[in-house]
């Protein structure tokens, strides 16, 4: 298998690692890509980005009240 961040994964396709990556493990190498996108277009004065390991995604929430989500603008 392949070792990634101290954890052994079997050869083949790995749908989701502990750190939210999708990987392909072979005898020669392990190739991974992230399952999440980092938001960039939001009100940075009022909001902050918090990583949600359950959903493998970033939540953009208000700094003063993290229970409230902030609007993220699409980057077109």
Inter-CA distances, 69 with 11, 19, 49, Å: 39, 23, 10
Report, at the CATH architecture level, how domain 39-75 is classified.
Answer: Single Sheet (2.20)
Cα–Cα dist 57/11, whole Å: 26
Model pTM above 0.85: no
Domain locations along the chain: 2-34, 39-75
Structure tokens at 73: 């603008």
**Span 11-24, mean pLDDT?**
94
Structure tokens at 18: 């502990």
| Span 19-70, pLDDT tens digits | 999 999 999 999 999 999 889 899 999 999 999 988 999 999 999 999 999 9
């Amino acid at each position: 298998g392949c070792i990634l961040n101290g954890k052994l994964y079997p050869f083949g396709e790995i749908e989701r690692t502990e750190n939210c990556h999708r990987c392909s493990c072979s005898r020669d190498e392990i190739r991974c890509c992230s399952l999440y996108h980092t938001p960039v277009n939001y009100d940075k004065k009022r909001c902050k980005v918090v990583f949600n390991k359950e959903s493998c995604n970033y939540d953009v929430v208000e700094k003063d009240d993290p229970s409230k989500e902030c609007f993220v603008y699409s980057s077109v």
